[in-house]
Structure 1
Amino acid sequence: MTQKRIVLSSDHAAIDLRQAIAKHLTQQGYDVTDIGPVTTESTHYPLHGKAAAEHVVSGQSDLGIILCGTGQGIMMAANKVPGIRCGVCMDTFSAKMIRAHNNANMLSIGARIVGESLALELVDAFLATEFEGGRHATRADMIEG
């Protein structure tokens, strides 16, 4: 299997955590594209969520990881893009289940909610889990409408 291509983005509140995740993934051999801001000047999370989501649905990346203060706002913006299934996770079980049962193609993390160590565990759990298909495929298809 070829290594997954991952797009990362965030708003200004999550730059440090996003960069730590980028370094972690690069060290593991992932093909990482970081499209997030580089300064802490206030920026708008909907723009960054949408840009990362479009990166995934266009096929430029296989999966996406996005961050903002809570993870909620940027996730909502990403989910407005047809073809995106993104969930906010704060525990590894949820990070695994959104992949295994919901075929999520994006993970959202709240940089003001979880620390770096847990964030890296969430990312690893998300990326290590494959969609189970079967009865879950019917349900995932229903999300698409």
Structure 2
Amino acid sequence: MKIALMNEFSQAAKNPVILNELKNATEKHGHTVFNVGMDGDNDHRLTYVHLGIIGAILLNSKAIDFVIAGCGTGQGALMALNAFPGVNCGYCLDPTDAYLFAQVNNGNALALAFAKGFGWGAELNARYMFEKAFEGEKGLGYPPERRESQNANVVILNDMKKAASKPFIEMLKSIDQDLLKQAIDGKRFQECFFKNSKDTQLTDYIKGLLK
């Protein structure tokens, strides 16, 4: 599994801590982590709105399988990611949230709070959240006897979101183009996207924006 981590500007300083815990929890299972957001206060500036855009591009192009995003409360990243088709983002504050999201909702993104409640032992909480999010099989249901109906609801939600949305590239063309270009201008995002994208039409569109 390819996992993208993205921090926005207000929580950029916490990126090394989160990246370290994410790698320690996932790479031993054969997953690959791409650090595509900000990794310091002076890095390419991104807000949680930008995170929603680049997260959606990475997921819809299948360059990435899962996104870990974060802002101060996690709520902004949650809303920005869920604004797009092909993204099912959950809100995670503790390991139980991560486990239940993996088993019940089986989505492809998590939004974490990197300021609210981020105090003593925060790196341990992050580590345990990542372990519960990525260890073992997903979509097993909780409690187990609810698995069939829960998995059916995941499919229904995905179909409903697709029906209620424009085609993805059309959505990108409809949003503020300066905002879009700022979002995709980061070097690490571009490296991850162009190396791993499986959608040639979307790849060509992003290339055209960067000319």
Regarding TM over 0.5, the answer is: yes
SS in structure 1 opposite 2:110? strand
Could you tell me which residue of structure 2 aligns to residue 62 of structure 1? 65
2:121 is the alignment partner of 1:122: no
Q: Which has the larger radius of gyration?
A: 2
Shift of 1:54: 2.0
SS in structure 1 opposite 2:106? coil
Unaligned runs of 5+ in 1: none
**Could you tell which deviates more after superposition, 15-24 or 67-76?**
15-24
SS in structure 1 opposite 2:23? helix
Could you tell me which residue of structure 2 aligns to residue 40 of structure 1? 41
After TM superposition, what 4+ stretches of structure 1 lie above 4 angstroms from structure 2?
A: none
**Could you tell which deviates more after superposition, 56-65 or 36-45?**
36-45
The separation in 2 between residues aligned to 1:118 and 1:24, in whole angstroms, is 9
The separation in 2 between residues aligned to 1:12 and 1:122, in whole angstroms, is 22
Unaligned runs of 5+ in 2: 141-146, 161-211
2:111 partner amino acid: S
What CA RMSD, in Å, does the superposition of the two structures yield over aligned residues?
Answer: 1.9
Shift of 1:112: 0.7
Q: 2:139 aligns with which of 119, 122, 131?
A: 131
Q: 2:5 aligns with which of 5, 8, 11?
A: 8
2:151 is the alignment partner of 1:111: no
Aligned length: 142
Q: Given the superposition, is the C-alpha separation of residues 119 and 24 from structure 1 closer, same or farther in structure 2, using an over 3 Å criterion?
A: closer
The separation in 2 between residues aligned to 1:103 and 1:61, in whole angstroms, is 15
SS in structure 2 opposite 1:101? helix
**Could you tell which deviates more after superposition, 91-100 or 123-132?**
123-132
Q: 1:23 aligns with which of 20, 28, 45?
A: 20
The separation in 2 between residues aligned to 1:16 and 1:36, in whole angstroms, is 11
Shift of 1:128: 1.6
Describe the superposition over 1:71-92 as per-residue Cα deviations: whole angstroms up to 9, x where unpaired.
Answer: 1101110111201111111121
Query: TM (normalized to structure 2)?
Result: 0.61
Alignment of 1:64-83 (within 5 A): 64-83=67-86
SS in structure 1 opposite 2:15? helix
Could you tell me which residue of structure 2 aligns to residue 87 of structure 1? 90
Instruction: State the percentage of identical aligned residues.
Output: 24
The separation in 1 between residues aligned to 2:3 and 2:67, in whole angstroms, is 5
2:16 partner amino acid: Q
Shift of 1:143: 1.8
